[in-house]
Amino acid sequence: MRCRAKQLRRGAQSRGHRREGAVTSRAEGKPEASALDRVVRRIEANWVLVAYLAIFAAAFALRFWDLGARALHHDESIHAVWAWNLAQEGSYRHSPTFHGPFLYFVQAFTFVVFTATDYTSRVSPAFFGMLVVAAPLALRRWLGSTGALAAVAFLAFSPTLVYFSRFLRMDIYLAAFILAMVIAVWSYLHDGRTRWLIVLAVALTLAFSTKEAAFLFVAFLLLYLNGHLALDLASASLRPRGADTTARRLFRAALLYPVAWVLAALWPFLAGLRSRLAWDDLPRTGDLLVLTGTLTLPLLTPFAKELLEAVFATAPLDFWRTDADGRTLAGVCDEATLRQGLVIGFGFAVTTAVAAVAGLGWRARTWLVAAAVAALIYTTLMTTFWTNLGGVCSGAWGSIDYWQAQQDVRRGMQPWFYYLMVMPAYEFLPLVLALAGGVWALFRGTAFARFLVLWFLVLFTALSFAGEKMPWLNTHLAIPAAFLAAWTLQRAWNYWRPPRLQPPHLLAIVFVLAAAALAFAALVFEWPSGLALRLTLGLGGLALAVAASVVVGSRLGWRVLPLLASLTVVASLGYFSIQTILATAFERGDVPDDLLIYTQSSPEITRLADDIDALAAATGKGYDLRIAVDSRSSFAWPWEWYLRDYRNVWRANFNSGLPPGHFDVMLVNETNHSVVAQDIQTRGVLFAQPFEYPHRWWYPETYKHALSGCSRNDDGSGGRPCEPYMSETWSKIRSGLFGGSWARDAFRYWRDHEAPVPYGSIDGFAYFPSGFDRDTGRLAPSSLEPVRPGVDSAGRPMFGGFGDRPGEFSAPVDIAAGLDGSLYVVDRAAWLLQKFDPDGNYLAGITLRDTELQDSGPWGLAVGPDGTVYVADTFGWRILAFDADLTNRLLAFGEAPLRDGAPPGPHFLFGPRDLAIDADGNLWVTDTGHHRIVVYAAGGEFLREIRGPFSPDTNYQGSGPGQFSEPVGIDIAPNGEIVIADMWNARVQVLDPSGAWLREFPVVGWGGFEALDKPYLAVLRDGRIAVSLPSLGQVRIYSSVGALLTTIAPVDEPLLFPYGIVETPGGKLWIVEGGAARVRLFDSTEAGER
């Protein structure tokens, strides 16, 4: 019977299609149709297809044209960099702070396929934006043919959706998955096919894997399905008695609403109750409710956090914790005790068990397939394809826990009426139709129409009263508004049920729309010719439109008027909608004249990025160009994206001045500019006049003060924000609209979209070399001749200085003397080893970076008995050896640390900082990160190590005799004793040639944790020990047993981050100044005070 019914339906549909597509032949003897009639008939047969093609072509152009022109927003750059890192290295670790992982995977795939550019960084949101536009095609059964076409058009030309389809954020992806859920729900309600349940499970899971805002829609969906089920059950129980009236059904549904979800979950166990109430099979709404609820329930476990903490008396189970100073602490997913882990596991076990009992009792096979698919997708994405198992906790527990806490933070601090401003400012066209159609839908609409009304109202209310309100969330209001507006047009069309339209009828309708649009434009725009002409054209056009409407209504029937009114809204507002799209997305997409544009990077960012690329090409350094970026107040974003290919980018907060070293480009936060400018002047670095630019700017949010200061005291003090439940609020609104300028200001903003006052901004300063022309991208040629030694202001010999020429430095750190008295200096920032004669004249140089190892950071230096020069490449995790002339690399050994909690092997070096060579040619290396000293033969063979006991957390760190905590500088005395700078223990330790501890003495001023505060030492020929204190700008000289003899700290030209020290044959000291990029000569008896 079912097969027969299907055949009959298909036959009827086939006959219907044939009737619709049939062409009636001309009756014999009738006059031949005119050319105009034939054109009209052809258009009637194909206009729907042509309209769809035109709309999709326009939607594609609006979403894909010139995607890379706008500077990447702060958040966009974070998402792009994370996706790029995932594409390059496979490195991604889920963090709820930046929402779910789906965006990063799909965008990484885009980068793999199309390479990483500003354009391709927005290709995936544009693609999903097209999926959103296409979604109404799957809902034609409920929207109608006209409504589906209208919905496609409203989505295609939505200013909000166009802008955020060109924006790398999660909301457009989430919108696509929400629409997939809507399609699955209504398709299942229609035909009951199991495949729609699986589609729902997949879409639901991908939504949760995209952004936590998915929970808002799912909450609405569950409430709706619960109500729908209550109505279905009420009707089923009343129908057998013939009492299924609307009033009784609604009353019984209201009684059932609180427990409908319980009935659905326990349906298999309620046979007796079902029999008494004539409930045979669970309605399809119950199927959807059970599936959606059981798949969502485990992810709601964090809502029971406080209950779990109280019942089990455990420590806080917060994913995100901060101390009293606002510093971020490790959360429960990072450092959980066994008890905390068991409590969280218990919570998930309970919710998962409840869900499984309900699901298996409902439809075991279907639920198992859906749950398995959902779990597989979710855990695979959250764990980065099972490479980060912590993602299970950060996703299932951290996501909802973190964002629930963020609602109290109220990022953006937007008022409750925020979306009452944003929606009319951008979605005015569908909003007008949706408001009118919403009333119609509630009282005379279909179930689908009421679903659209509730979708819009519930989401609007939830978003308005949520703690965090942002413009991109308007996406989730624009979509139901567009669908409801489309349904309104379809309903107006159905209400008329037109006969076959003749060309004169079409022309009359077009005339009405044109007259109305002209009247509206005349009244809205301010014309130079004055108010009189505007009123004449506006009122005249309005009169024509009304008169023409009367004529059309009298000829085609008065039922055409609702459709005519709807089309008039489209014709009148359509131009302004297109204008808003073009202005917001194209003309000023990175200029914050629009509420949609929130803390946007300014267009100067892309221009400066082009300048940096031009400088890199002009200098020949390419991606080795040295760049310093201020990180204060997240200033490093979006520079992280634009400088992603550059290998020498230094990121630091410049609040205390520039980091040591030479840089070709500096990008400085305005807050730190005065400090940096003074630092540059002190160092004598040559830069052109800095270029000031707006780094990040935002729409001036003067509206926040419109409703403030309610419930003040009698003296005018106090006051709090005006909430919608306060009578004062509505008094202020009334006076602002009718007695103030609110209405006029809102109208002008709607029309012109111009910010009322100057933008707010965080500015920056860009420094380029003095010889660089930003307009041409050319760099004035500079001499390649080596620099000559000079003297400081007190006449002390010196050599070096900031620069790129031979003999200049970026960030020199260590120095050693060759067998012939020549000097070797290693530069950690330029990865360069240079050789000088005893007076500081440049002789040779060799780079320490090679194509095999991009990471590098040399800090230590020593010369062997045979003249071989050894370098400790700290962040290349290796030791290098070169011949005395620096023409060949002779040796390289060492491996990166495993950091697996096991004792490190002899060649695993965790930041080898310095080395010294004994009389036998053996190398003594300070393995700083492992807190040990490792001894190797000249060829790199392991001999022994000096260290404390091992701990998985701290390696060999210790404070006892012969134990070390951050050993840095090392030297060997003439008598063979080994002298070591034990930094974090703030002491010098002395060992005998076998490595046994002999003695130690304290060094006041050591022990800090600054990354650049690394002390060196040198044992002088008479046994004295010279030690550097970089952060204090001092070199102290102690006796061999630790008595302080003198301190070198000149007042005239202070030492700037002194590091390596070497003694000349005459008993003087060459001291490397990392902060000044030079080497100066001091008498070992010179003293001074700071």
CB neighbour list of residue 313: distance below 8 Å, 6 or more residues apart:
none
Tokens of 736: 């602002």
Does some domain include residue 174? no
Residues 565 and 615 in one domain: no
Does some domain include residue 67? no
| Cα dihedral 96, 97, 99, 105 sign | negative
Q: How many CB atoms lie within 10 A of CB 760?
A: 15
**Which residues constitute the domain of residue 824?**
811-1017
Residue whose tokens read 């809204």: 569
Does some domain include residue 1030? no
Q: What's the Cα-to-Cα distance from 44 to each of 16, 456, 491, 512, 521, rounded to whole Å?
A: 17, 34, 20, 21, 30
Residues 248 and 397 in one domain: yes
Query: Region 899-912: what's the mean pLDDT?
Result: 90
How many domains does one find in the chain?
4
**Model pLDDT, residue 327:** 55
**Model pLDDT, residue 349:** 94
Residues 569 and 660 in one domain: no
Which of these three, 986, 1017, 1048, is where a domain ends? Answer: 1017
**Model pLDDT, residue 19:** 32
**Model pLDDT, residue 569:** 87
CATH at 849 = 2.120.10.30
**Model pLDDT, residue 334:** 73
pLDDT by residue (tens digit) across 957-983? 999 999 999 999 999 999 999 999 999
**Model pLDDT, residue 15:** 36
**Could you tell me the end-to-end alpha-carbon distance of the chain, in angstroms, rounded to an integer?**
102
Which among 689, 693, 694, 654 is positioned nearest to 672, based on CA atoms?
A: 654
CA distance 792 to 790: 7
**Model pLDDT, residue 747:** 77
Does some domain include residue 112? no
Query: Region 376-386: what's the mean pLDDT?
Result: 94
Does some domain include residue 1028? no
Residues 910 and 999 in one domain: yes
Does some domain include residue 294? yes
Residues 654 and 576 in one domain: no
Residues 510 and 648 in one domain: no
**Model pLDDT, residue 999:** 97
Which of these three, 985, 1017, 1049, is where a domain ends? Answer: 1017
Residues 633 and 774 in one domain: yes
**Model pLDDT, residue 669:** 93
pLDDT by residue (tens digit) across 743-768? 777 778 777 777 777 777 889 999 99
Residues 609 and 550 in one domain: no
What percent of the chain lies above the pLDDT cut of 90?
A: 56
pLDDT by residue (tens digit) across 6-41? 333 333 333 333 333 333 333 334 445 556 565 555
194: number of CA atoms within 13 Å, CB side? 8
CA distance 642 to 237: 65
Its pTM surpasses 0.85: no
Which among 249, 247, 266 is positioned nearest to 257, based on CA atoms?
A: 249
CA distance 1059 to 470: 50
Of residues 363 and 722, the one with the higher pLDDT is: 363
CA distance 544 to 551: 11
Which of these three, 953, 988, 1017, is where a domain ends? Answer: 1017
Does some domain include residue 918? yes
Measured over all CA atoms, what is the biggest interatomic distance in the chain, rounded to whole angstroms?
129
Query: Region 848-874: what's the mean pLDDT?
Result: 83
Residues 580 and 610 in one domain: no
Tokens of 51: 């309209």
Of residues 391 and 916, the one with the higher pLDDT is: 916
CA distance 1090 to 1083: 17
Does some domain include residue 800? no
Whether the per-residue pLDDT at 851 is higher than 80: the answer is no
pLDDT by residue (tens digit) across 73-104? 999 999 999 999 999 988 899 988 889 999 99
Residues 609 and 664 in one domain: yes
| Cα dihedral 669, 702, 406, 431 sign | negative
Residues 263 and 404 in one domain: yes
**Model pLDDT, residue 734:** 74
CA distance 1070 to 1028: 12
**Model pLDDT, residue 826:** 97
Tokens of 337: 């005790």
Residue whose tokens read 């999926």: 131
609: number of CA atoms within 13 Å, CB side? 23
The overall average pLDDT reported for the chain is: 87
Residues 606 and 580 in one domain: no
pLDDT by residue (tens digit) across 417-429? 889 989 999 999 9
Q: How confident is the model at residue 159 (pLDDT cuts 50, 70, 90)?
A: very high
pLDDT by residue (tens digit) across 871-883? 999 988 999 999 9
CA distance 292 to 209: 15
